[in-house]
Amino acid sequence: MAVRAIFSGSQQIFEEVCEHCGEKVRDIHISEITAKAPNDPRTIRMRNSDNDLFLMQTKKEKIIAVSESFKRKQLLDDVEAAEAFTKEAFKYGLRPEAMCSESIDLDANVTQSFCYRVESDTNNAKFQKVVGGRSLSASLASANKSDTTGSRMGVDRKGNVIKMNRYKNLRLDKRIGEEEVEKDSDGREIERKKGPFKTSWFAALRTEDQERVIRSTQNCRRLVDTYGEEVKTMEIVARARDLLDFDRNYIQAAGCRL
């Protein structure tokens, strides 16, 4: 279930939870899941989580207002959005499916919604949602951990493995459409990098040269035996000052060719 109600004394709290692992995504204010009847002629105002007054919308109006935000995060496609408008409801009323993580892929310039919490416990029953005949956990477990598309990040609601070289995480403690990029103590947006892309000289190479370095390194048996996980993640490139240094003192020194 994507929305969970919790009763604490006399207070009722709504939480949005990840469609896949069941982890909490964000708190939901009652104003976010409330709509007025379609034939109600009244102008009704209510307060949101910031205590600001706003006009209550009908279900159709609400769906139109939030659909684009959900589509940008891959939580809806065009067909699902159109169906929600026709039926006046998303999968869970005024909420579609949810995933526990959202990041901006800086190379593809898209927002990805995904779950990454499945790796440590792939046999857990709550991680066994099946899409296209395969569980999302199985989709993630079968993915190659390091390749030219970056390090493994997670799996989306349709079973696609999400990988990103450079990304910014979104804070999910805000209302839909108002999420903020994670920032450091000085208020600067935090850009994160994975695997070899944390090393500046590697990130500056042309794509075909990056592919060649990865292929030559991971096919070099002596490097694999010596550096193990560093070769798997390709973080081994951080040991070198530049491509020439890496080729001479690692690839060639191990008896391999770039």
Question: What is the per-residue pLDDT across 77-115, written as a single tens digit (0 to 9) for each?
Answer: 898 888 888 888 888 888 888 888 999 999 888 888 998
Structure confidence at residue 202 as a pLDDT band (50, 70, 90):
very high
Question: What is the per-residue pLDDT across 3-38, written as a single tens digit (0 to 9) for each?
Answer: 666 655 556 678 888 877 888 888 888 888 888 888
Q: How many Å apart are CA 19 and CA 89, to the nearest integer?
A: 17
List the chain domain ranges: 197-254
Q: Which residues of 139-160 are buried (b: 16+ CB within 10 A; e: fewer)?
A: bbeebeebbbbbbbbbbbbebb
**What is the pTM for the complete model shown?**
0.72
Mean pLDDT over the full length of the chain: 84
H-state helical runs in 73-147: 78-87, 136-141
